[in-house]
């Protein structure tokens, strides 16, 4: 796709002593179309040229050389130099690219020969998959798809929470009350009930908590009974998790959880000991990071058991040795920010390639909370994903029954719309923001929602079905698509590749979600202002082809977020 910013930056760079990349980074999108498509703020050159920005703008305009095939007009607005793109050229450029690439429009090879690992979902074994895990899963899955679309060798990792003191608690609870629960019929439900109960017992009696800790130490030491129970808890949990992943069409390349690194932690300690950065503190082995403002990081607890920091360090070394990655993203809530800062700092001492150390990144997202406060499995107030997804599908099914009872593929469409609402709700805002969970907001189908985007897609599909065939691109008169409503659609389609690039540069899938809303809104405006099926064959073909292009990009973009398109609404 032609980069107009780059064309403008190259033309300016021939007149000033500044590299193209820096100039391009300064180029802005004006707030209104009347001010052009791109604007260069000349005050960025004021110190270098020792002139006032308006004078610089005049000088640049008088001397700049840029083909009118790309830029039709240049205007001065105070200290800004405003550039107007040649609209007919833009239409041809966008539509020809979509014609050539179809569903691969917007893809690129920016990730060629680069490997990115994405650690996401990572639910805890023997606990229900609640909506806090859902957000993590949806964000990670969308980043996985987008990185792959841009040519990266992308590895999705589900770092299961299958180790730690909580298993000592669960084992103790099962020892005490296992016969009281029908675990075979509803393993996760019943194990959760045991977990809640043992936590209450731990609060009331310190000795119970000590027994739980001893169980975990036995598990680490390979105790047969504890290991057998632990494997069973894992097996039953994975069955439930997989049902959710199948429903959301989420896939992983690796299910290596914390337990995979049990036999890889001693070497981490040896490396850190040799670097002489470990020390003893109250019987525990720690690394003092106070001089970095990062506090104390425990490597091994006073009872000899490991901690998740040690396992994360072992995972980093294993991943660097195995994949030699360029990026390793951890999609984890911001509450773990200090943990990852500590671990990434200590990773510098593991002897792994510098590019791997520099590629470690914590993709922070906000917490999902109830209106009454934070969710907690041990408190028994977590909303389970199964319940949420089934409720979403159920509500949509009821709406369809009321409004369109004869709809074909009713069940499948209800599933796609309900799941689309939940996925989009998790991605439509900046991911760092906390979310207050509210059933009505999550499943709302008005305004900035997933179902609205699906509705616009179905509208494009209906238009194309009514016509019966897609006109040949070579027969399209692109000059008929330069009216304001059409150009807004074209301008949005043009941005698709840049939006995807921004997503991976900032690991922010909300950019794509907002793009799809903008495209849907602009197409709705185009649809309302321009009758598509008209007597003028050339005009009809041009508008049909634009509708076809919108359909392709909406479907592609939504799929990258993890949303499927229904056939009817």
Structure letter (DSSP) for residue 483: S
Asked if 262 and 220 count as a contact pair (C-beta separation under 8 A), the reply is: yes
Closest to 546 in 3D by CA, of 483, 474, 500, 490? 490
What is the separation of C-alpha 475 from the centre of its chain, rounded to a whole number of angstroms?
A: 39
Inter-residue contact 486 to 526 (CB < 8 Å): yes
Predicted pLDDT at 442: 66
Q: What does residue 71 show for φ and ψ, rounded to 5 degrees?
A: -115, 120
Average pLDDT estimate for 529-535: 93
Mean pLDDT, rounded, of the chain: 92
Cα 359 from Cα 118, distance rounded (Å): 11
Q: Are 317 and 350 in contact (CB under 8 A)?
A: yes
* Residue 195 contacts residue 126 (beta carbons within 8 Å): yes
Residues 6+ apart with CB under 8 A from 185: none
Q: Encode pLDDT of 53-108 as tens digits.
A: 999 999 999 999 999 999 999 999 989 999 999 999 999 999 999 999 999 999 99
Tell me the H-state helices in 446-529.
Answer: 450-467, 484-494, 496-506, 510-529
Residue with tokens 């903008």: 518
Please tell me the distance from the alpha carbon of residue 124 to that of residue 133, in angstroms, as a whole number: 9
Measuring CA to CA, how many Å separate 47 from each of 11, 14, 80, 339, 416? 20, 18, 16, 43, 56
Q: pTM (2 decimals)?
A: 0.90
Q: Which of 484, 463, 486, 485 is nearest to 542 (CA)?
A: 486
Nearest to 248 by CA among 60, 76, 392: 392
- Alpha-carbon distance values, 12 to 1, 80, 82, 153 (Å): 21, 13, 12, 36
Q: Which positions ≥6 away from 184 have C-beta within 8 Å?
A: none
SS3 63: helix
Confidence of residue 404 (pLDDT cuts 50, 70, 90): confident
Task: Kindly state the DSSP code that residue 408 receives in the 8-state scheme.
Answer: T
Angle at 520 between CA 514 and CA 523, to 5 degrees: 140
pLDDT for the residue 169:
94
Region 348-375: mean pLDDT is: 86
Of residues 232 and 435, more confidence is placed in 232
What percentage of the chain carries pLDDT values higher than 90? 73
Q: In this predicted model, which residue has the larger pLDDT, 380 or 5?
A: 5
Question: What are the tens digits of pLDDT across the range 13-58?
Answer: 999 988 999 999 999 999 888 899 999 999 999 888 889 999 999 9
3-class DSSP state of 468: coil
Q: Could you give the CA distance from residue 250 to residue 372 in angstroms, rounded to a whole number?
A: 30
Nearest Cα residue to 59 out of 42, 35, 39, 82: 42
Q: How confident is the model at residue 112 (pLDDT cuts 50, 70, 90)?
A: very high
Q: What is the pLDDT of residues 238-287, one digit of tens each?
A: 888 998 999 999 999 999 999 999 899 999 999 999 999 999 998 999 99
Mean pLDDT of 299-324: 92
Q: What pairs with residue 153 in β-bridges?
A: 115
C-alpha dist (Å) from residue 330 to 258, 340, 344, 443, 458:
14, 9, 11, 28, 36
Between 569 and 416, the more confident residue is 416
């Amino acid at each position: 796709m032609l980069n107009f910013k780059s064309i403008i930056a190259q033309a300016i760079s021939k007149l000033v002593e500044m590299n193209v990349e820096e100039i391009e980074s300064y180029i802005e999108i004006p707030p209104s179309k009347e001010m052009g498509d791109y604007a260069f703020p000349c005050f960025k050159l004021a110190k270098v040229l020792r002139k006032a920005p308006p004078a610089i703008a005049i000088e640049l305009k008088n001397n700049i050389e840029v083909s009118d095939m790309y830029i039709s007009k240049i205007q001065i607005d105070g200290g800004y130099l405003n550039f107007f793109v040649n609209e007919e050229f833009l239409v041809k450029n966008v539509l020809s690219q979509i014609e050539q690439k179809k569903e691969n429009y917007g893809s690129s090879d920016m990730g060629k020969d680069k490997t990115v690992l994405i650690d996401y979902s990572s639910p805890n074994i023997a606990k229900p998959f609640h909506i806090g895990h859902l957000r993590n899963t949806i964000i990670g899955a969308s980043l996985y798809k987008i990185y792959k679309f841009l040519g990266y060798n992308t590895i999705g990792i589900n770092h299961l929470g299958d180790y730690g003191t909580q298993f000592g608690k669960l084992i103790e609870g099962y020892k005490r009350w296992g016969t009281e629960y029908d675990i075979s019929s509803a393993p996760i439900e019943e194990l959760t009930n045991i977990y809640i109960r043992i936590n209450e017992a731990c609060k009331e009696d310190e000795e119970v908590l000590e027994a739980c800790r001893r169980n975990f130490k036995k598990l680490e030491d390979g105790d047969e009974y504890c290991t057998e129970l632990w494997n069973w808890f894992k097996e039953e949990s994975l069955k439930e998790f997989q049902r959710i992943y199948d429903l959301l069409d989420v896939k992983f390349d690796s299910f290596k959880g914390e337990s995979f690194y049990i036999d890889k932690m001693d070497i981490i300690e040896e490396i850190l000991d040799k670097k002489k950065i470990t020390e003893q503190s109250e019987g525990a082995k720690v690394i003092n990071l106070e001089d970095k403002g990062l506090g104390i990081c425990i490597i091994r607890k006073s009872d000899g058991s490991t901690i998740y920091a040690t396992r994360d360090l072992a995972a980093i070394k294993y991943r660097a040795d195995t994949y030699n990655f360029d990026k390793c993203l951890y999609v984890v809530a911001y509450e773990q920010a200090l943990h990852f800062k500590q671990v990434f700092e200590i990773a510098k001492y593991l002897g792994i390639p510098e590019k791997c150390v520099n590629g470690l990144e914590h993709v922070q997202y906000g917490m999902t909370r109830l209106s009454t406060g934070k969710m907690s499995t041990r408190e028994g107030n977590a909303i389970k994903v199964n319940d949420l997804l089934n409720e979403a599908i159920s509500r949509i099914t009821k709406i369809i029954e009321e409004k369109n009872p004869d709809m074909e593929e009713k069940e499948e469409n209800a599933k796609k719309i309900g799941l689309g609402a939940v996925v989009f709700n998790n991605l439509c805002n900046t991911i760092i923001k906390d979310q207050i969970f509210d059933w009505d907001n999550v499943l709302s189908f008005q305004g900035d929602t997933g179902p609205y985007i699906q509705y616009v897609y179905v509208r494009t599909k209906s238009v194309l079905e009514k016509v019966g065939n897609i006109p040949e691109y070579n027969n399209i008169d692109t000059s008929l698509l330069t009216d304001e409503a059409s150009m807004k659609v074209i301008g949005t389609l043009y941005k698709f590749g840049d939006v995807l690039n921004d997503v991976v540069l900032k690991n922010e899938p909300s950019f794509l979600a907002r793009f799809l809303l903008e495209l849907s809104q602009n197409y709705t405006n185009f649809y309302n202002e321009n009758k598509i099926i008209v007597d003028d064959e050339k005009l009809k073909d041009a508008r049909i082809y634009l509708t076809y292009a919108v359909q392709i990009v909406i479907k592609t973009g939504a799929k990258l977020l993890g949303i499927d398109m229904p056939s009817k609404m």
